[in-house]
Amino acid sequence: MSSDRRPWTFFVLATLFTLFVIFLYGPMISILILSFQGPNGSLSFPLRDPSLMWFGEVFNPSRVGDVPGAFSRSFPLSIIVMLLTVLISVTAGFGFRRHFRGSTLIFYTAIASLIVPGLVLSIGVLVTARFLGVSANWYTTGLGAHLSWTLPFGLLIMFAVLGRLNPSYEEAAYDLGASKWQTVKEVVVPIVFPGMIAVALFGFTLSYDEFPRSWLTIGTKNTLPLEIWTMTTNVTSPSLYALGAITTGISFLVIGAALGSIYLIQRKRAGL
Amino acid sequence: MSERRSFITQLQVAPLTLVLFLFFVVPVALVVIVSFFRYQMLVGLVPDFTFKNYYDLLTNPTTWALYLSTLKFTLMVLVITLVLGFWLSYFLVFHVRNLVVAIGLFLLCTIPFWTSNIIRMISWRPILGREGLVNQGLQEVGLIDKPLDWLLFSDFSVVITYVHLFTLFMMVPIFNSMARIDKALLEAAIDAGATRWGVIWNVVLPLSKTGIALGALFVVTLVMGDFAVVKVMSGGLSGSATSGMFNDLQFLNYPRAAANAVILLIIVMLIATGIFRLIDVRKELVR
Amino acid sequence: MNATIDDTNTAPNTAPNTAAKTAHASGSGEIRLVNLSMSFGATKAVNEVNLTIPHGSYCCMIGPSGCGKTTILRMVAGHETPTSGEVFIGDTMVVGQPPVNRGTAMMFQSYALFPHLSILDNVAFYLKMRSVAKDDRRRQARAMLERVQLDHLHDRMPAQLSGGQQQRVALARALITNPKVLLLDEPLSALDEFLRLQMRGELKGLQSELGITFLHVTHTQPEAIALADMVVVMDNGTIEQAGTARDIFDKPRTPYVARFMGAQNVLTGTVDNKSGTTVVLKTASGEALEVPGDRVNASVGEAVSVSIRRDLIAVHRAETGSTGDVNTIEGVVEATEYQGNFVKIGVIVKGVETFVANVSDQAYFAEPVIPGDKVRVSWNIDAVHVLAKVDAGNEGSPYGV
């Protein structure tokens, strides 16, 4: 380990790692390429007469589903879920720093909410809506079902972030005359901000891509993952891949923005 | 003073508690209640207290076959993701010397997690299909002369997709545990005469226990609760525990779907409790 | 905002309410602890402590970890609320008041510099909280940074600074509040030996320049001895002894202090003979100890503990010394440790913990001994200090029980 020559296991594991990365990204890249298929191209390789026509088809509701409509629900839903996830899990994370009655119960409820099969929860939320006499909608039952999935993630991230937050920072602020609110605003939030971005990233992407918890809870009009799900069975043109490329592109934009801003903040703190 | 503080704490946790109560506790409780209701064609739910749904399910050989098939998938995926997750994490933590490179490679593995599972699932089609890349490649090399049928829409493609989607859930917790291992422990073990395998077996593996347990928890619950992958990637040839539920829901037979959900829930919770008995997850997380 | 509570409560304060930044310095920085107690569950971290630290003094609190010294510091700072008892700063009872109203400023062990702010903004933080205009607070913060010779680094981030520089920033950030009392929680523990000695000198210089009270928690004896006008030795939540560094070092009150400060041997015997100027004690193993009579109150048959400074002890080979003398004990050398200007010799003596003598290097090399040698250790009667408490065991011993 201490010698400079790499052990043979390094090369074996480096090969395994490379193969794994190819395994992870290969299929995604292949549908990205195939989304540029020409008019006579099929759902598989080779790529014939590259064109952008299937991207146009995505927005043609008669051929495909109502993609713009689905997006117009999915996007705001993900944004709302993201904001609520940050707000609720950050405040709850601070609450959990102090021991309180029922903390263990709430914690394990959150963990249970994380591991309960999505379909079971979907059924439950739908039945609950029925009993309450409300109709399922993306902005009511759908939102709640998504939160039951994103909040435990947010909480776990906040646990990790706040576990590393030295209480001396808050005491120092208090010592220097900051009020409770000023301490939160001027010291705590700026310090844990990268963690909050991570929570936001999970909140947005988990909601944007959620399928089983959406299935029965979003009502009659589909969100994007459900729209794609329907398309997997009845759309047989490369427009399916084009749609996949577009949504994956949006995901990558969000991931890039989140990771990029975390990187910039850390860089600034290191004084670079 | 302390009463006011505890009031503030309650207030901070209240939104979380409310959401969990309304969208997790109540729904799951209602699923349990509805599982004892009666189903009537065209009417739907009829309040009752009957074990008929459970009786129907448990006496139906299909249910058993489906659960057996799910358990088979779960076990296979668990073993594969465990092996992959352990060795990939081991590579990142103990073989990559530059921390920035290690974090970069780690992120490379996690990024797909933040993209759509359904897209990642269908992206296997052009790879594994009859005219897919694999068949094309094998034919060109001359290893086979007609395309392999079992690559797509088979148990094979289901397992491949599961591994593709869920390895990360195993890898992240194991990576987390391993990254906390003091490198000096490894050197101490080598000084004490341990071989490379001895170190892995006696030091790295025991100290990664928490990560392995958490990862196993994720993978087991994800595979057991899945219905999308098995439906799309098996081409309808295989079923899973949720397939029955899925069919019942198509016919609006909520009581039987609920009973099925309860059975699945019990199995998942049993496995989870087993894992929680091995480790104190909360203590490990805030460490 | 400007008139803080302590202004109105302290003795004559002529500072007008516009001079908020100098308001604190005008009050007295005397710290008075009255029956102060702090319990965490069943454990009493601080137990009925009474102590007065005069205004303008440098006070070091020393004791093993868990002795309650940091808890007292935090109660003075206002980061911990006592279970019972009172804390006065000047004439003001400050329990229940926020730190900023107490006239205290704290330097944290980890420095707790805000990682997201430049060092200028770190130092200006207090002024920002008081809504001082941006230009004004930056000017004041730069003046303060100049004072700790860091003005040239004002736009750096904390992560870019060395440990010593970070500490100066923490100091500047605390001093900009113009405190009457500066509280230092193990301020030198994160520095390497060389920097530690340098900063030690600077802290002492700063304290005499500012003339305010410093309360400094440490676990290193030389640090306390070197810095403090007043040393407070603590153990198990109580004060063992409070006094000048010289008193603590030379005239410890209890066996605990004698051992903890690390320069004394403790011996116990019963009064055997009390005649005029000298008292003779008999140890459990039968040795006779002569003790100045005016310092012993115990009567014949009672137990008395004494301490003997390590550097006032002579060590000779058993053959060369004469036998049967008073204030002479026989033993076997356990170990020797060369320390430069002196040699530390550990001697195993029957019935006593390891006896330590610090012998000057000339004396040692004139008559060297090695482990295993039989030796006689002896001392003059004037080197014997009578303790106010009878030894109950190895309390305070660096060797443990």
For residue A186, pLDDT over 60 is answered with: yes
Where on the phi/psi map is residue C115: left (φ > 0), alpha (ψ -120 to 50), or beta? alpha
On average, the pLDDT of chain B sits at 86
d(CA C98, CA B86): 51
Residue C265 phi/psi, 5-degree rounding, is -105, 140
d(CA A243, CA A58): 6
Reduced to 3 states, what is the DSSP secondary structure of residue C69? helix
Spell out the residues 6+ positions from residue C13 whose beta carbon is closer than 8 angstroms to its own: C7, C23, C26, C27
| Neighboring chain A residues of C129 at a CB cutoff of 8 Å | 176-179, 182, 186
Chains that touch B (3 or more CB pairs under 8 A): A
Among the ranges given (A239-248, B241-250, C12-21, C173-182), the one the predictor scored with the smallest mean pLDDT:
C12-21
The residue assigned the tokens 């193990």 is C186
> How close C92 comes to chain A (CA, Å)?
18
The sheet carrying C355-360 orders its strands as: C313-317, C374-379, C328-338, C342-348, C355-360
d(CA C177, CA C77): 13
Closest Cα partner for C237 from C61, C57, C392, C401? C61
Q: Which pair of tokens denotes residue B43?
A: 């009417």
Q: Which pair of tokens denotes residue C116?
A: 């997201």
A69 touches chain B (CB under 8 A): no
Q: For residue A117, how many C-alpha atoms fall within 13 Å in the half-sphere facing its CB?
A: 30
> Sorting pLDDT into bands at 50, 70 and 90, what band is A261?
very high
Chain A and chain C share a number of CB contacts under 8 A equal to 77
Fold of B57-286: MetI-like fold (1.10.3720)
Averaged pLDDT for residues C66-90: 92
- Residue C275's pLDDT is 74
- Residue B283's pLDDT is 63
pLDDT digits (tens, 9 = 90+) for B229-275: 888 888 777 778 888 888 888 878 888 889 999 999 998 888 888 87
| Neighboring chain A residues of C153 at a CB cutoff of 8 Å | none
Q: Which has the higher per-residue pLDDT, C207 or C321? A: C207
Nearest residue, CB atoms, C116 vs list A173, A177, A191:
A191
Highest averaged pLDDT of the listed ranges B41-45, B154-158, B162-166, C272-276: B162-166
Among the ranges given (B32-41, B231-240, C116-125), the one the predictor scored with the smallest mean pLDDT:
B231-240
ipTM summary value:
0.87
In percent, how much of chain C has pLDDT > 90?
38
Residue A36 phi/psi, 5-degree rounding, is -95, 15
CB distance A109 to B25 below 8 Å: yes
- Residue C217's pLDDT is 95
For residue B149, pLDDT over 90 is answered with: no
| Neighboring chain B residues of A88 at a CB cutoff of 8 Å | 15-16, 19
63-92 in chain B: CB under 8 A from chain A: 84, 87-88, 90-92
Averaged pLDDT for residues C3-23: 37
Averaged pLDDT for residues B95-124: 88
B24 touches chain A (CB under 8 A): yes
On average, the pLDDT of chain C sits at 84
For residue C326, what are the β-bridge partners? none
Burial of A145 (0-12, 13-18, 19+ CB in 10 A): buried
Nearest residue, CB atoms, C130 vs list A174, A177, A193:
A177
For residue B16, pLDDT over 80 is answered with: yes
- Residue B105's pLDDT is 92
pLDDT digits (tens, 9 = 90+) for A131-180: 888 888 888 889 999 999 999 999 999 988 888 888 899 999 999 999 98
Residue C328 phi/psi, 5-degree rounding, is -135, 130
- Residue C395's pLDDT is 60
d(CA C393, CA C381): 24
B246 touches chain A (CB under 8 A): yes
Q: Which has the higher per-residue pLDDT, C59 or A233? A: C59
Reduced to 3 states, what is the DSSP secondary structure of residue C47? strand
CA A241 to centroid of chain Cα atoms:
21
For residue C6, pLDDT over 80 is answered with: no
Closest Cα partner for A31 from B142, B112, B219, B114? B112
* All structural domains of chain B with their residue ranges: 57-286
pLDDT digits (tens, 9 = 90+) for A196-250: 999 999 999 999 989 889 888 888 888 888 888 888 777 777 888 888 888 888 8
d(CA B154, CA B236): 9
Averaged pLDDT for residues C352-381: 86
For strands C43-53 and C31-40, give the pairing: antiparallel
Please state the three-class secondary structure of chain A as a single string: CCCCCCCHHHHHHHHHHHHHHHHHHHHHHHHHHHCCCCCCCCCCCCCCCCCCHHHHHHCCCCCCCCHHHHHHHHHHHHHHHHHHHHHHHHHHHHHCCCCCCCHHHHHHHHHHHHHCCHHHHHHHHHHHHHHHCCCCCHHHHHHHHHHHHHHHHHHHHHHHHHHCCCHHHHHHHHHCCCCHHHHHHHHHHHHHHHHHHHHHHHHHHHHHCCCHHHHCCCCCCCCHHHHHHHHHHHCCCCHHHHHHHHHHHHHHHHHHHHHHHHHHHHHHHCCC
- Residue C19's pLDDT is 36
- Residue A132's pLDDT is 87
- Cβ distance A228 to B118 less than 8 Å, yes or no, reads yes
C2 touches chain A (CB under 8 A): no
pLDDT digits (tens, 9 = 90+) for A114-143: 888 888 999 899 989 988 888 888 888 899
Give the residue on B whose Cα is nearest the Cα of A119: B225
d(CA C269, CA C168): 51
Averaged pLDDT for residues A43-55: 76
> How close C123 comes to chain A (CA, Å)?
10
Q: Which has the higher per-residue pLDDT, C174 or A220? A: C174
- Residue C23's pLDDT is 42
| Neighboring chain B residues of A113 at a CB cutoff of 8 Å | 20, 24
The residue assigned the tokens 């999505």 is A118
Q: What angle do CA A94, A98, A103 make, to 5 degrees?
A: 90
For strands C58-62 and C84-89, give the pairing: unpaired
Spell out the residues 6+ positions from residue C273 whose beta carbon is closer than 8 angstroms to its own: C279, C280, C300
Closest Cα partner for A209 from A269, A163, A149? A149
Q: How many CB atoms lie within 10 A of CB A73?
A: 23
The sheet carrying C303-309 orders its strands as: C288-292, C278-283, C264-275, C303-309, C384-386
Closest Cα partner for B160 from A48, C279, A24, A258? A24
Reduced to 3 states, what is the DSSP secondary structure of residue C4? coil
Reduced to 3 states, what is the DSSP secondary structure of residue C384? strand
Helix H or strand E encompassing B172: helix B155-179
pLDDT digits (tens, 9 = 90+) for C289-306: 888 877 777 778 888 888
Q: Which domains does chain A have, with CATH numbers?
A: 66-234 (1.10.3720.10)
The residue assigned the tokens 């051929």 is A63
Give the residue on A whose Cα is nearest the Cα of C2: A177
CB distance A185 to A195 below 8 Å: no
> Sorting pLDDT into bands at 50, 70 and 90, what band is B183?
confident
Distances (CA, A) of C363 to C311, C316, C344, C355, C366: 12, 10, 12, 18, 5
pLDDT digits (tens, 9 = 90+) for B130-145: 788 888 888 888 888 8
> Sorting pLDDT into bands at 50, 70 and 90, what band is B21?
very high
> Sorting pLDDT into bands at 50, 70 and 90, what band is C394?
low
d(CA B164, CA A25): 10
Mutate to test the interface with A, among C121, C129, C155, C156 (most CBs of A within 10 A): C129
- Cβ distance A155 to B16 less than 8 Å, yes or no, reads yes
Using an 8 Å CB-CB cutoff, list residues of chain A that contact chain C.
Answer: 166, 168-169, 171-179, 182, 186-187, 190-191, 193, 265, 268-271
> How close C185 comes to chain A (CA, Å)?
11
Where on the phi/psi map is residue C313: left (φ > 0), alpha (ψ -120 to 50), or beta? beta
For residues B181, B182, B185 and B188, what is the CA-based torsion angle, rounded to 10 degrees?
160
Helix H or strand E encompassing C329: strand C328-338
Residue type, C399: Y
Mutate to test the interface with B, among A10, A20, A21, A235 (most CBs of B within 10 A): A20
On average, the pLDDT of chain A sits at 87
For residue A68, pLDDT over 60 is answered with: yes
Reduced to 3 states, what is the DSSP secondary structure of residue C265? strand
DSSP B261: H
The sheet carrying C43-53 orders its strands as: C43-53, C31-40, C84-89, C92-93
- Residue B44's pLDDT is 67
C162 touches chain A (CB under 8 A): no
CB distance C352 to C281 below 8 Å: no
**C104-134 burial code (b ≥16 CB/10 A, e <16):** bbbbbbbbbbbbbbbbbbbbbbbbbbbebee
Among the ranges given (B106-115, C1-10, C166-175, C205-214), the one the predictor scored with the smallest mean pLDDT:
C1-10
For residue C20, pLDDT over 50 is answered with: no
193-212 in chain A: CB under 8 A from chain B: 201-202, 205, 208-209, 211-212
- Cβ distance A123 to B261 less than 8 Å, yes or no, reads yes
- Residue C400's pLDDT is 40
- Residue C390's pLDDT is 83
Residue C335 phi/psi, 5-degree rounding, is -160, 155
> Sorting pLDDT into bands at 50, 70 and 90, what band is B285?
low
- Residue C174's pLDDT is 93
Spell out the residues 6+ positions from residue C255 whose beta carbon is closer than 8 angstroms to its own: C266, C305, C307, C387, C389, C390, C391, C392, C395, C396
Entry field: residues in chain A:
272
Q: How many CB atoms lie within 10 A of CB B153?
A: 20
Q: Which pair of tokens denotes residue C381?
A: 């009667």
